[in-house]
Amino acid sequence: MKAQVPDSPLEDDDLAGDDMNGRMCIVTRESGSPDELIRFVAAPDGTVVPDLRRQLPGRGCWVKPERSLVDKAVAKKLFSRALKAEVTASQDLGAMVDRLLAANLAGMMNLARKAGQFVSGSSKVDGAVRTGEALAVFHSASAAADGVRKIDQARKAWHLGMETENEIPSFRLFAEAEMEELMGQNAFIHAAALAGQAGEGVVKRAKLLEQYRNGGPSRATGGAGQQKQ
């Protein structure tokens, strides 16, 4: 009998083994939790759409959060087979997912700012890093090297002082134009996500976007995380 997720509106057929929370990527056939994959469903018009919040009804399928894998699923027409229906996956589906992930991150940054868990400006970021309040730092892709270097020095000092293996991650995900489009007056050069639920939400979404763009798990250290062109 096909395993079912109790009290769930989803109708996914690709549960991985006996793990009730497991799903399987339709490209790599690797299993993972819902938080480690992106869900796709068929819209009423038969087009494939991403379901980042995993709330849309109907049969779904899953892909690891990597742009190349979404593009491969489109090219090889894997969505029709996985969804057991004649569906249409747009050639720009990979780009659509990128835009949604970026908008999701920017929205969470704005929520965290309202909650007092996201600050911008080099002095505030430096202070948050040195006190250990920062969960992660963010730089615009156009940020000056000197400004990034000073904050990296603060990250290194905190890391050495705490004698911990865990560094404060650093991301450079948004070009200036993209950030202004997504965040408007809240666009920043340097920023930091602070401790708290909203700040943790920012870091989680940043790692997901970086993984999607870079084709692998987040490597956000030492000012890394540059967007691939």
- What pLDDT does residue 10 have? 52
Given a cut of 80, whether residue 55 has pLDDT beyond it is yes
Count, residues in the chain: 229
- What pLDDT does residue 5 have? 36
Given a cut of 60, whether residue 58 has pLDDT beyond it is yes
DSSP letters of 141-195? TT--HHHHHHHHHHHHHHHHHHT-S-PPPEE----HHHHHHHHGGG--SEEEEES
- What pLDDT does residue 215 have? 84
Task: Count CB neighbours of 154 within 10 A.
Answer: 20
**For the segment 68-109, what is each residue's pLDDT rounded down to a tens digit?**
999 999 999 999 999 999 999 999 999 999 999 999 999 999
Amino acid at 173: L
Put residue 16 in one of left, alpha, beta given phi > 0 → left and psi -120 to 50 → alpha: beta
Amino acid at 82: A
Range with the poorest average pLDDT among 60-74, 127-141, 145-159, 163-177:
163-177
Task: Count CB neighbours of 100 within 10 A.
Answer: 16
Q: Evaluate whether 73 touches 26 at the Cβ level (below 8 Å).
A: yes
CA angle in degrees (0–180, nearest 5) for 200-143-178: 70
Residues 6+ apart with CB under 8 A from 39: 10, 12, 23, 50, 51, 52, 54, 56, 60, 61, 62
What are the structure tokens assigned to 172, written together? Answer: 């450079």
- What pLDDT does residue 166 have? 75
DSSP 8-state assignment for residue 37: S
Domains of the chain: 23-91 (3.30.1230.10), 98-214 (3.30.1330.30)
Using DSSP, state whether 108 is helix, strand or coil: helix
Average confidence (pLDDT) over 24-45: 95
- What pLDDT does residue 112 have? 98
Given a cut of 70, whether residue 143 has pLDDT beyond it is yes
Q: Which residue has the higher pLDDT, 32 or 13?
A: 32
Given a cut of 60, whether residue 229 has pLDDT beyond it is no
Percent of the chain at pLDDT exceeding 90: 77
**For the segment 184-216, what is each residue's pLDDT rounded down to a tens digit?**
999 999 999 999 999 999 999 999 999 999 986
DSSP 8-state assignment for residue 185: G
Average confidence (pLDDT) over 20-39: 89
Given a cut of 50, whether residue 30 has pLDDT beyond it is yes
Bridge partners (DSSP) of residue 47 are: 88
Q: Give the chain's mean pLDDT.
A: 87
* pTM (predicted TM-score): 0.85
